[in-house]
C-alpha cells in the first residue's frame, strides 16, 4: 500500500468490486487510483471469499477485504482467515484486533496493510471503540503507536457530520507518525471534495475514503464506473 501510486501522492479510493470485470472498470475509471474490495458478509464461506479475491487479484495489485454488515466487528477472524488464504494486500479490522492481525500476517510472512476501525463519538477529542466505550483520542493514538497500527479507519462518518472529528484524528495521528486515515460512511460525490480538502490540509501521509452507497447499482450489485470517474475527477481538481 505504501508503495502504490497515489493521487496527489496521498490519495486512493476503495470501491467494492462485484467481479473481475467490475474491478477492471473501477481501475480504469479511477485512472488506477483505487483499491477494489469485497466485504466478508457477501460470502457464506472463507474459501468462497478467497476465490473472489484471487479473481480480483488477476487485475488489481491490491484488494481490500472489509468486515461488512456496516462494520460488524465480530467478523474480524473471518477477514483474517480470508486474507491468510488469498493475500489481498489490505484488510479491515476493529481497533482491538488490528495489532493481533498484523502480527499473524507478519509471522506467516504475508505482507499486509491492516487498518484499525474506530467510530466518532460526536465530541471532539473523544472516539468510540467497538464495544461503544469512549476513550480520549490521544490515549487511543498513543496505544496505536505502541501496537504498530498503520492506519486508522473512522466509521460511520455520516457524510460530513463528523468532519471536525476526523480532521482532528488525522492531525493527531500524523503527529505520532501513524501513516494513514480511512474515512467511511455516507461519502459520495456531493461531499467528497470538502472531505478530501480538509484531510489534505493535515500532515497525514495516506488517505483512503471507502465509498460504497450510491456508487453501487442495486440491481446488478456492481459499482458504477461513471460514479467512480465523477468522484475521482472531483478529487483531481
Relative to beta strand 113-120, strand 89-91 is: parallel
Helix (H, G, I), strand (E, B), or coil: what is residue 69? Answer: coil
Give the three-class secondary structure for 182.
strand
- Grid cell digits, residue 161: 457530520
Task: Quote the cell numbers at residue 140.
Answer: 487511543
Amino acid 99: pLDDT: 97
Q: Give 14's strand partners.
A: 35, 210
CA–CA distance, 4 with 14 (Å, rounded to integer): 13
The angle subtended at Cα 218 by Cα 213 and Cα 219, nearest 5°, is 165
Size of the chain in residues: 237
Contacts of 58 (CB under 8 A, 6+ apart): 20
pLDDT recorded at residue 134: 98
Round to whole Å and give the CA distance between 149 and 146. Answer: 8
How confident is the model at residue 199, as a pLDDT?
Answer: 98
Ordered domains of the chain (ranges, CATH): 13-236 (3.20.20.70)
Strand, helix or coil at 146?
A: helix
- Give me 18's grid cell: 462485484
Cβ–Cβ under 8 Å, residues 8 and 204: no
How confident is the model at residue 1, as a pLDDT? 85
pLDDT for residue 237: 78
Distances (CA, A) of 233 to 97, 165, 228: 35, 26, 9
pLDDT per position in the chain (237 positions), as tens? Answer: 888 999 999 999 999 999 999 999 999 999 999 999 999 999 999 999 999 999 999 999 999 999 999 999 999 999 999 999 999 999 999 999 999 999 999 999 999 999 999 999 999 999 999 889 999 999 999 999 999 999 999 999 999 999 999 999 999 999 999 999 999 999 999 999 999 999 999 999 999 999 998 899 999 999 999 999 999 999 887
Distance of CA 74 to the CA centre of its chain: 17
pLDDT at 2: 86
Please report the pLDDT score of residue 140 as a whole number. 98
As a whole number of angstroms, the distance between CA 218 and CA 118 comes to 28
Extract the runs of DSSP E, i.e. beta strands, from 129-207.
134-136, 151-154, 180-183, 206-207
Residue linked to cell 471503540: 129
Q: Are 75 and 41 in contact (CB under 8 A)?
A: yes
Q: Name 211's Cβ contacts closer than 8 Å, sequence gap at least 6.
A: 13, 14, 15, 187, 188, 192, 231
Amino acid at each position: 500500500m505504501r508503495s502504490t501510486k497515489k493521487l496527489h501522492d496521498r490519495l486512493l479510493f476503495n470501491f467494492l468490486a462485484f467481479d473481475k470485470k467490475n474491478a477492471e472498470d473501477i481501475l480504469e475509471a479511477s485512472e488506477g487510483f483505487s483499491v477494489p474490495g469485497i466485504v466478508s458478509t457477501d460470502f457464506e464461506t472463507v474459501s468462497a471469499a478467497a476465490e473472489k479475491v484471487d479473481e480480483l487479484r488477476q487485475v488489481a495489485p491490491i484488494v481490500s477485504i472489509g468486515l461488512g454488515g456496516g462494520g460488524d466487528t465480530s467478523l474480524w477472524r473471518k477477514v483474517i482467515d480470508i486474507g491468510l488464504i488469498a493475500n489481498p494486500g489490505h484488510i479491515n479490522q476493529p481497533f482491538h484486533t488490528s495489532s493481533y492481525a498484523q502480527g499473524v500476517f507478519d509471522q506467516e510472512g504475508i505482507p499486509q496493510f491492516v487498518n484499525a476501525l474506530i467510530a466518532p463519538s460526536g465530541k471532539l477529542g473523544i472516539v468510540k471503540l467497538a464495544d461503544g466505550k469512549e476513550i480520549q483520542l490521544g490515549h487511543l493514538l498513543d496505544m496505536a503507536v505502541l501496537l504498530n497500527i498503520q492506519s486508522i479507519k473512522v466509521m460511520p462518518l455520516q457524510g460530513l457530520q463528523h468532519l471536525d472529528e476526523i480532521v482532528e484524528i488525522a492531525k493527531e495521528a500524523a503527529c505520532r507518525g501513524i501513516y494513514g486515515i480511512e474515512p467511511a460512511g455516507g461519502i459520495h460525490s456531493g461531499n467528497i471534495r470538502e472531505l478530501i480538502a480538509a484531510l489534505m490540509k493535515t500532515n497525514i501521509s495516506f488517505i483512503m475514503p471507502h465509498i460504497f452507497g450510491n456508487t453501487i447499482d442495486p440491481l446488478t450489485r456492481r459499482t458504477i464506473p461513471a460514479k467512480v470517474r465523477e468522484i475521482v475527477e472531483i478529487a483531481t481538481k
